[in-house]
Amino acid sequence: DGGITQSPKYLFRKEGQNVTLSCEQNLNHDAMYWYRQDPGQGLRLIYYSQIVNDFQKGDIAEGYSVSREKKESFPLTVTSAQKNPTAFYLCASTTDPSKREKLFFGSGTQLSVL
C-alpha cells in the first residue's frame, strides 16, 4: 500500500540530546513537509522540501534540521537548541506544491522530554 510512514511512534529525549524522526513515503511525491502540533493549536510548519537536495525553513525552523538525500525520505532532527521539543510531529507529502493539492499525512511521532 502507498503511504507515508513515520517512526518511531513515541520518542523520548534527554537534556542536551539530538534526536531524529524518520519519514518515508512511497507515493512518488516530490514535496515533503514537517509540521509540529501542540494541544489546542493549528499545525505549524517546521521545514519543507520541494525537491531532492533542497529544503526551506518554515515558520518555526529554529532548533530543527532536515535533509533530503532521497526522494522517499525526509528525516527531521530535533537538536538540543530546541528548548521546548515536546509535541506531536507530523510529516506530510504532496505531488506538486505549485498546485492546490491536498497533503497526505503520516501517523505522527509523539516526542517527549525526560
Three cell numbers written together for 76 = 527531521
**Shortest approach of another protein to residue 90 CB, angstroms?**
6
Tell me if 102 contacts another protein by CB under 8 A.
Answer: yes
> Would you report the helix, strand and coil content of the chain in percent, each value rounded to 5?
0, 50, 50
Name which of 13 and 44 has its Cβ closer to another protein.
44
Q: Around Cβ 71, how many Cβ atoms within 10 Å? A: 17
Q: Around Cβ 69, how many Cβ atoms within 10 Å? A: 10
Tell me if 107 contacts another protein by CB under 8 A.
Answer: yes
Residues near another protein (CB under 8 A), total: 22
Q: Residues 64, 34: contact at Cβ < 8 Å?
A: yes
**Shortest approach of another protein to residue 45 CB, angstroms?**
8
Name which of 84 and 98 has its Cβ closer to another protein.
98
Span interacting with another protein, options 11-19, 40-48, 65-73, 76-84, rule CB under 8 A? 40-48
Tell me if 106 contacts another protein by CB under 8 A.
Answer: yes
Give contact residues for another protein (rule: CB under 8 A). 4, 6, 35, 39-43, 45, 50, 90, 97-98, 100, 102-108, 110
